[in-house]
Structure 1
């Protein structure tokens, strides 16, 4: 088997974390509009987004279509919670802004590790379940010059672990799946999904991780690290630390 030619990393929880000030809580948004009871029915602030593994290619043709679909999902949820028709537009506008008002910072190990991977001749990519603006977010956190390929669910038409997003990723990398190493903190999207797509996988299980609970047993073809510097030891996948694997 050829060596690794690309290392692709998840974005949130792997490369970046959320920091204060946090996005506004939806209950406050509802309450300011006299809709406290409806806000309590809303449930989890983030649950209104596309589900893990959801395919939505019909809405991913362009940004206008995709963002209209996002807003319509918010509108339907608000109606189901009993929000009056005349209050929908303003509420949806504010909820949409609040969900995307996320302040991010890089984990301390990111710059050094990504730089080391590229110096070894490896293609470096990001693949994430995210809003339409993933490329802009990668730039804003300072990784624009450190990443070769960015694939987000909004533009790919499906969320990990749906096979469609991995096919889009492999097309962008221009490498066979066995030469791509996928790294991330989420079990199904970042480990099981990539393995099913023929890639190698590394489960990132940080001590300060956003995902609670013990790490599941590793399946064949996967490894586990507690920090991104584990990618540079050579113990994760032979060839990553040994030298260039080819970019394809």
Structure 2
């Protein structure tokens, strides 16, 4: 990526959705040659991220709080808390689908109404759901979680030649005590190994944003800082 020209645009500065006291700008991909699984994976390695059809990366002049985070699945070691979640959810089954289903949006809508009514994704709509999660040039996978026959969560995941990228997880609010967001990431790490991939990308880590700093609990992991992936190793459990 360092030696390959890349056509991009840049957005106007606007209030940051993670740190409201800051302003954010985004570099947005304009190069159609990279809208492939292989091209997108190379952009993930350079700190980009997909939202719907768009691929972007923070480009903020006054702030550098957002760091891409990825986990090398073969090195990951679950903490005591994460092991408890795996054990608590041992009766939850999961399967992969590559087809969007009406039941997904119904679950997404309920999740946003009850869990994120104070956020930028409220009120939800199907067009917003499609623009955020679906993609014309890369078909996402849907990791479905069931308790018995009941669908209780969906983790939207991009499966790439050498990695997986966790897009978004939404779940039945009645099952909040199951820690399904954490369980989804732990399952995606298992899937990364099972599919012979190396990394699971989790998007951006923002240490000072409560909604975004949970990713730091998955150790060891790597963060992209100054164009270099730095490893953060296991601390005391």
| TM-score normalised according to structure 1 size | 0.29
Q: Which structure has more strand as a fraction of its residues?
A: 2
| TM-score normalised according to structure 2 size | 0.30
Structure number with larger C-alpha Rg: 1
Q: Which structure has more helix as a fraction of its residues?
A: 1
Determine which structure has greater relative contact order: mean sequence separation of CA pairs < 8 Å that are 6+ residues apart, divided by chain length. Answer: 1
